[in-house]
Amino acid sequence: MNAGSALKPLRSLLPVLVILALIALVPLFSPSNRFLSLAISAGINVIALYGLSVLFGQTGILSMGHAALVGVSAYAAAILARDFGVGFWVALPVAAVASAIFAMIVGVPSLRVGGHHFVIMTFAFGQLLAIVLTNGGDYTGAATGLDIAGPVTLFGADVTELTRYYLMVVAFVTVAAVASWAIIHSSYGRTLRAIRENEKLAASLGINVGRHKIGAFVVSGVFAGVSGVLLAYFLGHISPSQFSSFPSIYLALMVMIGGARLIEGPLAGGILVAFLPEVLNLDPVQSRIVYGICLIAVIMLLPDGLIGGIVRALRGLFAGKAKQEAERDAAPSEARR
């Protein structure tokens, strides 16, 4: 613990980076367009999930309005492109800020009313956003939504083409994973975990619990914002129902199936939910039933999520022998509570 403590955080990032590097090599095997599209959708979700993992995994706040935060930036990007001719790279920071501001507007009153009600408040704000977008007339395109056209260029090259967009999304996922890792291993991350574990104790140690909770909500909004711009430019068309509360439930489901506290969790949850129907050859209705059952099973049986469960099982497998011997040696010193 003492000697390796500086290296340990870096080691926890390594598996994710290796996996992402392998994922970036996929185009070499000339995958189908369908595969690439699915992977891009999954990647865009994963970016939003990293935000949710900061909020839920680290801070312990469950939001049922995360899709609404994605929606704010998606609509911001579409409206910026339509009314101001603003392209992808300018829209990206502007829309992310818009999502963060919306998160603050939702977060301040929601967190004021306290823990139990927060989740319901975020749900209500999500539904409200969908209603407002539907009733927004021509400005928001009503129930049909908005089109967003225009190439995305990077260093002069058009990245709208599927393989290039895929690689760009992988790059963004990597940034999101690294950002989330940096948060987890910073003093800020420790502060958030303290709030998750015990708000009263955290306050007694000088932590401004309310401000940090809103802060975590805003941070999750930035992740959602980046995800929303990528989504709008990928789909080329967005509509209110994509961002109502039910998509939020699916985002929460993905992050919890993967495991919200571990850096691998959002990646695993996003990929699993996207590709499970393909692998098991399920139609969308069947696959949703499977997701629901998975979520219930994970919560009842593996509270750390699938990845957490696998890690623990592996550790148990490898440590089993050593532990048995250690336990035999140290048997008499067990005196707890």
Partner 1 sequence: MDIFIQQILNGLSIASVITLIAIGVTLIFGLTGIINFAHGEFLMIGGIVTWLAVSAGLGFPIAVMLSILAVGLMGYVLERGLFRFTLERPTNGFIVSLGLIVVLQHVVVLFWNPNQKSIPRPLTTVWEIAGVRIASVRVMVILITIAVVALSFRMITASRYGRALRASVEDRDTAALMGIPVRRYITGVFVLGSALAGLGGALLIALFPITPFTGGTMVMKGFAVALIGGLGNIYGAVAAGLILGIVEGFSAGYGFSQWTDAYSFVLMILVLIVRPHGLFGGTSGPRMAS
Partner 2 sequence: MSPILAISGLSKQFGGVTALAGVDLAIEEGEILGVVGPNGSGKTTLFNVVTGVHKPSGGTVLFRGRDITGLAPHAISRAGIGYTFQQAMAFAGLGVLENVQIAGEHARAGGTANPWPTPQALLDFVGLSALGGEKAGVLPFGSLRLLGLALALATRPSLLLLDEPAAGLNDRETTALVGLVRQLPGHGITVCVIDHDMKLMQMLCRRLAVLDFGSKIADGPTEAVLADPKVLDVYLGGDL
Least gap, CB of 274 to partner 2 (angstroms):
30
Q: How far apart are CA 317 and CA 296, in angstroms?
A: 25
Contacting residues for 239 by C-beta, under 8 A, at least 6 apart:
141, 143, 144, 145, 146
Token representation of residue 5: 């403590």
Phi, then psi, of 146 in degrees rounded to 5: -125, 150
Least gap, CB of 335 to partner 2 (angstroms):
7
Which of partner 2, partner 1, none is residue 337 near (CB under 5 to 8 Å by kind)? partner 2
Largest CA distance in the chain: 75
Residue 30 as a binder of partner 2 (CB under 8 A): the answer is: no
Cβ–Cβ < 8 Å for 266, 46: yes
Which of partner 2, partner 1, none is residue 1 near (CB under 5 to 8 Å by kind)? partner 2
Token representation of residue 156: 């002069």
Give the bridge partners for 154, in sequence order.
157
Please choose, out of 118-126, 234-242, 273-281, 329-337, the segment that lies near partner 2 by the rule CB under 8 A: 329-337
Binders of partner 1 among residues 50 to 109 (CB under 8 A) are: 62, 109
Phi, then psi, of 3 in degrees rounded to 5: -70, -40
DSSP string, 92-117: HHHHHHHHHHHHHHHHHHHHHT-HHH
Length of the chain: 337
Binders of partner 2 among residues 181 to 210 (CB under 8 A) are: 187, 190-191, 193-194, 196-198, 200-209
Which of partner 2, partner 1, none is residue 204 near (CB under 5 to 8 Å by kind)? partner 2
Give me the 183-222 binding string for partner 1, x by CB under 8 A, dash otherwise.
---------------x-x----------------------
First to last CA, the chain: 26
Least gap, CB of 1 to partner 2 (angstroms):
4
Among 35, 188, 246, 275, binds partner 1 (CB under 8 A): 246
Q: How far apart are CA 290 and CA 281, in angstroms?
A: 12
Token representation of residue 82: 């339509």
Q: In terms of CB distance, is 153 or 186 closer to partner 2?
A: 186
Q: Which residues bind partner 1 (CB under 8 A)?
A: 62, 109, 112-117, 119-121, 123-125, 127-128, 131-132, 134-135, 198, 200, 245-246, 249-250, 252-253, 256, 285-286, 288-289, 291-296, 299-300, 303
Interface residues with partner 2 (CB under 8 A)? 1, 187, 190-191, 193-194, 196-198, 200-209, 335-337
